[in-house]
Amino acid sequence: MYTLTLLGLSAPQEPHTHLLEVGRDLRQLLLAHNASERARAQRDLDQARQQLLANMTESQRRFSSMKSQALLTDAHDTLTRYLQSVAYIADLAAADQSFHPDAAIALLFEANNLALFDESDQRLDALVRHKENNALLAWKNAEDFAATSEHLSQTLLVLGSLAGLGIGLLLASSISRPLDRLRLRIEGMARGQLDSAVPHTDFQNDVGAIARALTVLQDAAREVEVLHWIKSNTADIVASVLPLETLNAFANTLLARLAPLVGAQSGLLYVL
C-alpha cells in the first residue's frame, strides 16, 4: 500500500516540475543573445525534456489502477504533443542566426501552444488529485480498522470479565487505554493536527502495528499539505509570468511573487 498509494504521491508532481522547467528553458533559448547562451539554453531544455519523459515512465510503475493508467495515458499523450511543439519552436529558433527569432517567439505565445501547456498542466493536476484521493481513502480505511480493532478489544474485555474481575481490569488497562490514545490521535489527525507524535509505535503487538501504520499515514498527510502548497503557488506564479514578453517584467513579477513565499525582503534575478 505504501509503494502504490503513498509513495506514488510524488510521482506526478515531478513531471509537473520538469514541465515548468521546459517552458522556462525554451524562453531562455528564445531570449539568448549569442551562440554560447543559446547552446547553454538548448542543453538545459534537452535535459528538462529527458527528465520529464523519464519521470512519466517511472510513474507508469507506480500507478496500478485502471483509472490511474487512463489518467497517465491522457497526460502522456498531451505532453508528447506539447514537447513536439517545443521541439519545433526550438528548431525554428536555432535556424535563426540573427538572435531575434520573432517567428519562434510568436509560436511560443500562439494560442494552440499555450493551450497545449495548459492542458498538460491540467492532466498532471488530475493525476495529483487522483493520488491524493487514494491516500485519503487509505487513511479512512486505517480509521475504520482502528475502530474495528477497538470494538473487538471491547468485546474481548466483556468476555474476559466473565472469567474474573481481575482479568477484565487487566485487559482494560493493557488494551483500552492504548487504543483510546490512538483514537484520540486519529481524531487529532482528522482535525489537521499532524505534528504530534503517534503513541505506542514501539509496542510489538496489534496496537503497535496500528500505531506504526498511523505514522506512515501522518507522514503522507504532511506530504499532501506540502504538495498543495507547492502546486497552488507554482500555478499562481506561472499564470503571472507566462503572458509576459520582456525580461524585466518577467524578473519583477517572478521576484515579487517568490519573495513573500520564502520570507525574503528583496531578490535579484541573474540571467546567464
70-99 tens-digit pLDDT: 887 888 888 888 888 888 888 888 887 776
Q: Which helix (H) or strand (E) holds 215?
A: helix 206-241
Q: Is the distance from CB of 246 to CB of 240 less than 8 angstroms? A: no
- Cell numbers at 140, concatenated: 479512512
Of 31-40, 59-68, 186-195, 233-242, the one with minimum mean pLDDT is: 59-68
Query: Is the predicted pLDDT of residue 44 greater than 70, yes or no?
Result: yes
Tell me the per-residue pLDDT of 148-160, one tens digit each, with 9 for 90 and over.
878 887 888 888 8
Query: Is the predicted pLDDT of residue 51 greater than 60, yes or no?
Result: yes
Q: With bands split at pLDDT 50, 70 and 90, how would you rate the model's confidence at 66?
A: confident
Pairwise CA distance, residues 263 & 240, whole Å? 19
Q: Give the pLDDT of residue 173.
A: 63
| Sign of the alpha-carbon torsion through 4, 9, 15, 18 | negative
Place of cell 507554482: 234
Q: Which residues contact 10 (CB under 8 A, 6 or more apart)?
A: 223, 227
- Cell numbers at 96, concatenated: 535563426
% helix, strand, coil for the chain, step of 5 = 80, 0, 20
C-alpha angle 213-218-224 in degrees, rounded to nearest 5: 130
Tell me the per-residue pLDDT of 194-238, one tens digit each, with 9 for 90 and over.
777 888 888 888 888 888 887 888 788 777 777 777 788 788 888
Q: Which residues contact 242 (CB under 8 A, 6 or more apart)?
A: 23, 114, 117
Pairwise CA distance, residues 186 & 267, whole Å? 42
DSSP-derived 3-state class of residue 263:
coil
Give Cα separations from 58 to 75, 77, 137, 230 (angstroms): 14, 16, 23, 21
The whole-chain average pLDDT of the chain stands at: 78
Q: Is the distance from CB of 153 to CB of 175 less than 8 angstroms? A: yes
Q: Which residue has the higher pLDDT, 265 or 51?
A: 51
Query: Is the predicted pLDDT of residue 42 greater than 60, yes or no?
Result: yes
Q: Give the pLDDT of residue 117.
A: 83
Q: Give the pLDDT of residue 12.
A: 55
Q: With bands split at pLDDT 50, 70 and 90, how would you rate the model's confidence at 5?
A: very low
Which has the closest alpha carbon to 85: 110, 53, 50? 110
Q: Which residue has the higher pLDDT, 112 or 169?
A: 112
For residues 257-271, average pLDDT: 74
Q: With bands split at pLDDT 50, 70 and 90, how would you rate the model's confidence at 3?
A: very low
Helices then strands, counting H and E runs in the chain, come out as: 9, 0
